[in-house]
Amino acid sequence: MNVISQIFAVAAGLFHVYAFTLESVLFRRPAVQRAFLGRTVSPDVHLWAFNQGFYNLFLAAGAFGGVIAVHAGAAVAGRAVTLFACACMMGAGIVLFVSDRTLWRGALGQVVPPLVALLAALA
């Protein structure tokens, strides 16, 4: 796995850790809801956001763990895990954009780094 692919996989993971923090740690704050979604939401949404944040954290762990595995000598397995995590991140970002185009900034953050990692891995 080349350096560009690894850098963008880690960047994608960092974005997803940020999303985890917003969704699972800080989401009850109205200011975070407005920054994240452009509006405040009902308390019923908090459980959804908390759960969604952990999905993002686990995807980040896949990207980080895969890159670590590459450097630990398990290049084939590490590459597979990293690229699978990146493909999932990219797919989720596309779904986010298609679902609500007003969230395009978040979708870009979710799609672009893993897409670059995937494209760089093809080189």
Model confidence at 35: pLDDT above 90:
no
The 10 Å CB-count burial string (b at 16+, else e) for 33-63 is beebbeeeeeeeeeeebeebbebbbebbbbb
What is the Cα 104 distance to its own chain's centre?
14
pTM for the model: 0.92
Q: Mean pLDDT in the chain?
A: 95
In this model, does residue 68 exceed pLDDT 90? yes
67-93 per-residue burial string, b: 16 or more CB within 10 A, e: under 16: bebbeeeeeeebbebbbebbebbbebb
Domain ranges of the chain: 3-122
Q: What is the pLDDT of residues 77-88, one digit of tens each?
A: 999 999 999 999
